[in-house]
Amino acid sequence: MSLAIYPGSFDPMTYGHIDIIDRSLKVFDRIIVAIAINPAKSGLFSLAERTEMIREVFSGNPRVEVDSFEGLLVNYLERRKANAVIRGLRAVSDFEYEFQMANMNRKLLPAAETFFLMTGADYFYVSSRLVKEVASLGGCVAGLVPETVRKRLTEKVGGGE
Ligand code: ADP
């Protein structure tokens, strides 16, 4: 059974993330969506809220698990006995940071590989940060995030129907 870890903040999960997970499922048998806990960055949604939203979206799909981790990704990979990491690429601007991270992880754990997937054209411009910004300014984010996320965003920061 092939297994890959998809780490990220997922604050909150967007259709861009979901697109990457759907593509990964064509290649890997199981995906663990691993929410990175960053004590220095509180985020809009709590860990429990982020977990709940992702579980709702993938309920009924036993191939997707939701988990969280603190500290180094490579330690988490070893703990979960996984050696594949999924990351998504949108624009050239993602490349520099992702390239550095992938190489650092390769240095720390040579047994692991990072796989980059390109998002579908519809989601190139979607990021959690922008979705939060648009919602907080009263814009409609339907079509960018699943309904459960849209509802919770509206409760937290407002936004159009
Ligand atoms: P991080 O803080 O680790 O970047 P994010 O939740 O913002 O966490 O993103 C997790 C991963 O998903 C990253 O590899 C990011 O590039 C990717 N990603 C986010 N949004 C999209 C999108 N719209 N299309 C493709 N990949 C995306």
The binding-site residues of ligand 1, defined as CB within 6 angstroms of any ligand atom, are 8-10, 14, 16-17, 20, 87-88, 90, 94, 119, 123, 126-128
Region 28-43: mean pLDDT is 93
71 vs 38: CA distance, rounded Å: 8
| pTM of the shown model | 0.95
Nearest ligand 1 atom to alpha carbon 15: 23
CB-CB contact of 3 with 30 (8 Å): yes
**Sign of the Cα pseudo-torsion (74, 76, 78, 82, in order):** negative
Q: How large a percentage of the chain has pLDDT more than 70? A: 98
- Compute, in angstroms, the gap from residue 17 CA to the centroid of ligand 1: 6
CB-CB contact of 152 with 53 (8 Å): yes
Distance of CA 137 to the CA centre of its chain: 23
Identify the pLDDT of residue 41: 83
- Compute, in angstroms, the gap from residue 13 CA to the centroid of ligand 1: 9
pLDDT digits (tens, 9 = 90+) for 109-138: 999 999 999 988 899 999 999 999 999 999
Q: For a pocket test of ligand 1, which of 51, 87, 144 has the largest count of ligand atoms closer than 8 A to its C-beta?
A: 87
Nearest ligand 1 atom to alpha carbon 118: 25
What are the catalytic residues? 17, 41, 90, 128
Q: Which residues fall within 8 angstroms of residue 143, CB to CB, at 6 or more apart? A: 15
- Compute, in angstroms, the gap from residue 159 CA to the centroid of ligand 1: 22
pLDDT digits (tens, 9 = 90+) for 75-116: 999 999 999 999 999 888 888 999 999 999 999 999 999 999
Atom 1 of ligand 1, residue of closest alpha carbon: 8
Helical (H) or strand (E) element with 100: helix 92-108
What is the per-residue DSSP string for 112-154?
-EEEEEEPPGGGTT--HHHHHHHHHTT---BTTB-HHHHHHHH
Backbone dihedral angles phi then psi of residue 123, each to the nearest 5 degrees: -120, 10
